[in-house]
Structure 1
Amino acid sequence: MNVIKIIHKHKPNFCGFISIFSLLIPSCLGADTITGNGYLSGDKTIISATGLFELGFYKPGNTSNYYIAIWYKKIPGKTVIWVANRDKPVSDKRTSKLRISSDGNLVLVNNESKSPIWSTNLEYNTAKPVEAVLLDDGNLVLRTGSNSSAPLWQSFEHPTDTLMPDGKLGFNRVTNLSQVLTSWKNLEDPGTGLFTVKRDPKASQFIMLWNKSEQYWTSGLWIPDQQIFSLVPELRFLKTQLYSFSYVDNETESYITYSVNNPSIVTRGCARKTMLSCEGGKSGDKFLATPSRILPEHPQFVSVANVGECESVCLRNCSCTAYAYDDNGCFIWFVELLNMRQLSDNSGKTLHIRLAASDVETSSNKILVIGILAGLGMGLVALSALAYVAYWRQKRRLFIAGKTMEHSLTPFKYRDLQSATKNFSQKLGGGGFGSVFKGTLPDSTVIAAKKLEGINHIQGEKQFRAEVSAIGTIQHVNLVRLRGFCSEGSKKLLVYEYMPNGSLNTHLFNKGGNIEILSWRVRYQIAVGTARGLAYLHEACRDCIIHCDIKPENILLDAEFCPKVADFGLAKLVGREFSRVLTTIRGTRGYLAPEWISGDAITAKADVYSYGMMLFELVSGRRNIQLASEGRLDFFPTSAMGKLTEGEDVLTILDPRLKGDAGKDEVMRICKLACWCIQDEESHRPSMGQVVQLLEGFLDINMPLMPRSLQMFAGNIDSPMFFSEYSSSQHTTETTSYASTTSANKEPSTYVSATSQSQE
């Protein structure tokens, strides 16, 4: 999970600790200072004057990596506020040292490295001795002496994922130095994650970006008269005796900062007071009704008759954390309660939060919130949340801030979509179940409306229900977002977010014209993003969702070429209590896994096979099956595996339009991965979660054996398994026995040669 934290301080009355601790510190290493030949190594630390903050080597969770970090000394569990070498951990804290270098920089070195692992990277000339001191506000400062008026370097100007009081978030127009917050990769890896909060360089607002490209959230523009950002009205609550908030925007700087006026108050977010009791499927828990809420993200829809049944469904499942019931039906949550907002008026909906019975009984005057909000912290909104928390604690209430999002699908009228699409005049594409048209809603939102035409009414209705149930209530950055639907008799439409760069197949297979050639960097990004979307479907949803039709036509690209898995009309939902499901053959020939053809029950590994076939096309920029120059049909995966096995240059199989402009290691990695994904035995294929790790370099990969099916069918391209023409009306035709070939390739194999790699 990605975390962006914003924390405030307090200064307790704390005496006597420094004198005791100083006995453990060598000369040239003061209680809060590194000077001269002093250094930090092993378990040595420095502590701020009042004992509030500590700096030293930090090892997160069960990992073997060490980082130089600052954390709250008196809060259990080392609540980290800053990390120096977040992307370059060290493996041995005893042979690593944080010290002052000969040129006056603060550096992290170890015995093996010839150059610093991390450095303050300052260039200056000074004859004065330099010292590094940890201040009482958590700021690590590099200066020329205790009386120095201006520090040479300070951690507050280089925040990682935490904005401290009196720190700045913004940029300096003179020095071109920016302060941004970037999430951790996960709870055990403080490396730079995917979410970043920064000042928008084009407008007076703050934005959150995903992957440094896609805008995920915005504060809205600054309103000087009201002293708030338009989409964060909660900032008005910072005008209290507890907090001071300011936004500075002048010729030299543009930033936000805040301070704590009452040092006796400390916030650390929310925590569950009493753990839930759920043994043997029986629970003594109860629900606390919290009205006037913007509901959290990622709800799951459940078909029930009344609110009592909705509560019972949640209570019977030990993983259910909350439920809500209204005219739209029953929604329950099996994940963290992310991005809730309590409204000041009586609007919004009532969320029933699961708590231990004892906590519900003692909560008549206050709201207890489940402490699992460590997911996507919303930069500035988290800042306003802290202020609002302290403000409402005086009134025995808790406020949770977050991004306003629409959590239920919008029901559209047919005539409204007819108007939005100009009577369905601009066709974007089509398939076996209908055509897709571009449209614009009255609020200028551009949409893609899928008009179901279908084989027959029953088939179309089934496809409609499948798609709505599959993605109607899930959201992921790599899954196309379903915004709404229309169901008026035989008129069935699905309304999606619009993808301006169309589908992947257009860029891979359409030669010439104005089609942009995808660079290798973009192709690799598409491979990773698609894998993340599928991993979410397979492993993170309440039910495992098998897409069943992965191919370039069903991978859509947004304005930044971020991939979105689309077209869930053939998707199959598999309950977590089942390992596989028997279903009629579905998908597109040329991407079908062997188990489809043999009629065996399938698992999510069927999607892995299709994904592998798509990877070959992503590399080559051509269909896997095409007519060769001598008149025969050429099956690319077979020829590619043959060349790789024989040791040919991997760039010879790359799309010639790239002219070899790609990293050999990445091309080899993605080709080996594709070969593993299309193995005959599904147990030999990696899961999509492992695919993501392989692509991100956390696992290494070997070259597998040639699947027996590729050898057998290389000269028999007319087989229904490899026939590549798309026709949804033929999904259930021509099943062929495949048992003899799927059982033939039983050699023990492994695709992982190393369980982890250093991010260094």
Structure 2
Amino acid sequence: MNVGFSSSTGKNSSSHCILGWSFSTDGVPATPLDLSSLPSPPVLPDQTSYLKTKLATLKTGAISAIATLLLVILIIAIVLYIRRKSKLAEALEAWELECPHRFRYKDLYKATNGFKDKGIIGHGGFGCVYKGVMPSSRESVAIKKISSGSNQGTKEFVAEISSLGRLRHRNIVNLLGWSKRGRDLLLVYDYMPNRSLDAWLFDTGETRRVLDWERWIGVLRGIAAGLVYLHEEWEQVVVHRDVKVSNVLLDGEMNARLGDFGLAKLYEHGKGMCTTRVVGTLGYIAPELPRTGKATTSTDVYAFGGMLLVVACGRRPIEPSEAVGNLVLLDWVRECWMRGRIIEAADPALRGGDCEKAEVEMVLRLGLMCSQSAPKARPTMRQVVHYLDGDEVLPDVVLVLDDKDSVDLVCRSNLSSSLFGFASVGSIATGR
């Protein structure tokens, strides 16, 4: 037998108090309770007040927790803001404030969404090219980010870029401006939606060679006109130093524009350029450049001649060949010319009607003429434009060199094309 107390509550809370009790066993009556000696019932708190107090305590704790959380968030936000500001901060030198066409680095950072990899639209030997949308104007631009290993020459580089920013021609990609942060230099160009000429020539997709010959010859004429502007018509002589198919871009209307002036050099008309380091792309570098270190308008002509051959033949300047190892395009076209079959060097896709075939052959011959080893034997870009436009007839030319490296050009219009040749230095001494 168990003896004890039990109580229960319903939906509401309640308190049950035992003020006294009497119990006995073995048949002996329990001692009567003296109610007068029982303690008074305890005074219980008012339930409503208790709940209010408890709720107030909970509210205070919640407010304190929220305030602490907001404070932590605020501190984190301040730290991130300071880090972002330091990341986009620019330590400007005095000369930078005086150079025109300068963009704020943070604007270019926002335009490219932080220079993320998914925004890269091209690669070069000196950096990556990103597509960007300027936050203020919402215009699309191309931003080339060049990582320099040294600050040496940065001031001179930016001075030249600022001058190049004034170039304006329908066949030149406008250099809109520049920016610098640390050792990174950024060049801002017009955005060309139809990619580079290299992509149209060598991409394996459906776009390869979809242009007709009229469009191809129009591209060549446009770039030639742009080079005439750089060499002769602007206030200074501009030597591009990196003329090649990958630096020829097509705008929204498929007009050709010469771009990437990151290597360009300027000098006054009538004066020569100082010796500088040799830069460029293998297959487009004039043979005298490694020896003299001086880039001239003639070295640009040589590179343009290489580009003529690349477009007409559909081959890169130097490419692997199972038969001969590395095929040098210039040597191959020259060999076809000396055999009297220069048209065999052309891309089969361009061998159309008689008129088209004649123009393709003219471009191949002009490419050889521009790619002659002696700088004085090459035509000027203005002469090249006349040949491409049909204003002048491309002559048959025999290149003659003596031991003093002087040059004579013997034009023989009555010679057949099979007599046109490029003599070596060793054989020319006796042939003169």
Interval containing the TM-score (normalised by the shorter chain): 0.5 to 0.7
Give 3-state SS (helix, strand or coil) of 1:585's partner: coil
Residue deviations 1:439-494 (CA, integer Å, cap 9, x gap): 1124331111112213333366654443333x211201111101222234444322
Once the 2 structures are TM-superposed, how far is the Cα of residue 698 of structure 1 from its aligned partner? 0.8
Equivalent residue, structure 2, for 1:653? 345
Q: For 2:407 and 2:221, how far apart are their aligned partners in 1?
A: 29
Does the alignment pair 1:448 with 2:142?
yes
Closer, same or farther in 2 for the Cα pair 1:414/1:677, shift >3 Å? same
Once the 2 structures are TM-superposed, how far is the Cα of residue 506 of structure 1 from its aligned partner? 1.5
Once the 2 structures are TM-superposed, how far is the Cα of residue 616 of structure 1 from its aligned partner? 0.4
Residue type of the partner of 2:232? E
Give 3-state SS (helix, strand or coil) of 2:260's partner: coil
Equivalent residue, structure 2, for 1:723? none
Closer, same or farther in 2 for the Cα pair 1:692/1:649, shift >3 Å? closer
Q: 1:542 aligns with which of 235, 239, 243?
A: 235
Does the alignment pair 1:415 with 2:106?
yes
Residue type of the partner of 2:347? D
Once the 2 structures are TM-superposed, how far is the Cα of residue 519 of structure 1 from its aligned partner? 2.4
Whether the 8 Å CA contact 2:173–2:189 is kept in 1: the answer is yes
Once the 2 structures are TM-superposed, how far is the Cα of residue 419 of structure 1 from its aligned partner? 1.4
Closer, same or farther in 2 for the Cα pair 1:579/1:456, shift >3 Å? closer
Q: 2:187 aligns with which of 488, 494, 501?
A: 494
Residue type of the partner of 1:531? A
Residue deviations 1:92-151 (CA, integer Å, cap 9, x gap): xxxxxxxxxxxxxxxxxxxxxxxxxxxxxxxxxxxxxxxxxxxxxxxxxxxxxxxxxxxx
Task: Please give the TM-score of this superposition, normalised by the length of structure 1.
Answer: 0.39
Whether the 8 Å CA contact 2:200–2:207 is kept in 1: the answer is no
Closer, same or farther in 2 for the Cα pair 1:750/1:464, shift >3 Å? farther
Whether the 8 Å CA contact 1:528–1:695 is kept in 2: the answer is yes
Q: For 2:268 and 2:348, how far apart are their aligned partners in 1?
A: 44
Does the alignment pair 1:569 with 2:241?
no
Residue deviations 1:173-221 (CA, integer Å, cap 9, x gap): xxxxxxxxxxxxxxxxxxxxxxxxxxxxxxxxxxxxxxxxxxxxxxxxx
Q: List runs of 5+ in structure 2 lacking aligned partners.
A: 1-94, 415-432
Once the 2 structures are TM-superposed, how far is the Cα of residue 606 of structure 1 from its aligned partner? 0.9
Residue type of the partner of 1:557? L
Q: For 1:641 and 1:675, how far apart are their aligned partners in 2?
A: 7
Once the 2 structures are TM-superposed, how far is the Cα of residue 749 of structure 1 from its aligned partner? 2.8
Residue type of the partner of 2:346? L
Equivalent residue, structure 2, for 1:595? 288
Does the alignment pair 1:663 with 2:356?
yes
Residue type of the partner of 1:453? S
Q: For 1:554 and 1:508, how far apart are their aligned partners in 2?
A: 13
Q: List runs of 5+ in structure 1 lacking aligned partners.
A: 1-304, 306-326, 330-407, 709-738, 754-760
Instruction: Report percent identity of matched pairs.
Output: 33
Whether the 8 Å CA contact 2:147–2:183 is kept in 1: the answer is no
Q: 1:468 aligns with which of 162, 184, 199?
A: 162
Equivalent residue, structure 2, for 1:749? 410
Once the 2 structures are TM-superposed, how far is the Cα of residue 422 of structure 1 from its aligned partner? 1.6
Q: For 2:188 and 2:208, how far apart are their aligned partners in 1?
A: 26
Closer, same or farther in 2 for the Cα pair 1:704/1:528, shift >3 Å? same
Equivalent residue, structure 1, for 2:152? 458
Closer, same or farther in 2 for the Cα pair 1:490/1:642, shift >3 Å? closer
Q: For 2:269 and 2:413, how far apart are their aligned partners in 1?
A: 26
Whether the 8 Å CA contact 1:548–1:570 is kept in 2: the answer is yes
The 5 A counterparts of 1:357-396 are none
Once the 2 structures are TM-superposed, how far is the Cα of residue 515 of structure 1 from its aligned partner? 4.6
Closer, same or farther in 2 for the Cα pair 1:665/1:648, shift >3 Å? same
Give 3-state SS (helix, strand or coil) of 2:171's partner: coil
The 5 A counterparts of 1:190-205 are none
Q: For 2:314 and 2:150, how far apart are their aligned partners in 1?
A: 35
Q: 1:436 aligns with which of 126, 129, 150?
A: 129
Bigger radius of gyration: 2
Residue deviations 1:509-548 (CA, integer Å, cap 9, x gap): 2223555633222211111111111110100111111111
Q: For 1:679 and 1:451, how far apart are their aligned partners in 2?
A: 35
Q: For 2:209 and 2:341, how far apart are their aligned partners in 1?
A: 29
Give 3-state SS (helix, strand or coil) of 1:616's partner: helix
Q: Higher RCO, 1 or 2 (CA under 8 Å, sep at least 6)?
A: 2
Equivalent residue, structure 2, for 1:630? 323
Q: For 1:581 and 1:676, how far apart are their aligned partners in 2?
A: 26
Closer, same or farther in 2 for the Cα pair 1:448/1:690, shift >3 Å? same
Whether the 8 Å CA contact 1:447–1:496 is kept in 2: the answer is yes
Once the 2 structures are TM-superposed, how far is the Cα of residue 602 of structure 1 from its aligned partner? 4.5
The 5 A counterparts of 1:208-247 are none
Residue type of the partner of 2:246? E
Give 3-state SS (helix, strand or coil) of 2:180's partner: strand
The 5 A counterparts of 1:12-411 are 409=101, 411=102
Q: For 2:249 and 2:323, how far apart are their aligned partners in 1?
A: 34
- Structure with bigger helix share is 2
Q: For 1:655 and 1:569, how far apart are their aligned partners in 2?
A: 31
Q: For 1:461 and 1:580, how far apart are their aligned partners in 2?
A: 18
The 5 A counterparts of 1:508-527 are 508-512=201-205, 514-515=207-208, 517-527=210-220
Runs of 4+ residues over 6 Å off in structure 1? none
Does the alignment pair 1:617 with 2:310?
yes
Once the 2 structures are TM-superposed, how far is the Cα of residue 600 of structure 1 from its aligned partner? 6.0
Closer, same or farther in 2 for the Cα pair 1:461/1:517, shift >3 Å? farther
Give 3-state SS (helix, strand or coil) of 2:340's partner: coil
Closer, same or farther in 2 for the Cα pair 1:601/1:494, shift >3 Å? closer
Closer, same or farther in 2 for the Cα pair 1:560/1:655, shift >3 Å? farther
Residue deviations 1:677-711 (CA, integer Å, cap 9, x gap): 11122111111111111111111112334799xxx
Q: For 1:491 and 1:746, how far apart are their aligned partners in 2?
A: 44
Once the 2 structures are TM-superposed, how far is the Cα of residue 579 of structure 1 from its aligned partner? 4.3
Q: How big is the alpha-carbon RMSD for the aligned residues of Structure 1 and Structure 2?
A: 2.9
Equivalent residue, structure 1, for 2:172? 479
Once the 2 structures are TM-superposed, how far is the Cα of residue 613 of structure 1 from its aligned partner? 0.9
Q: For 2:366 and 2:207, how far apart are their aligned partners in 1?
A: 31
Give 3-state SS (helix, strand or coil) of 2:195's partner: coil
Whether the 8 Å CA contact 1:535–1:689 is kept in 2: the answer is yes
Q: For 1:751 and 1:525, how far apart are their aligned partners in 2?
A: 29
Closer, same or farther in 2 for the Cα pair 1:514/1:615, shift >3 Å? closer
Equivalent residue, structure 1, for 2:78? none
Task: Please give the TM-score of this superposition, normalised by the length of structure 2.
Answer: 0.66
Give 3-state SS (helix, strand or coil) of 2:397's partner: coil
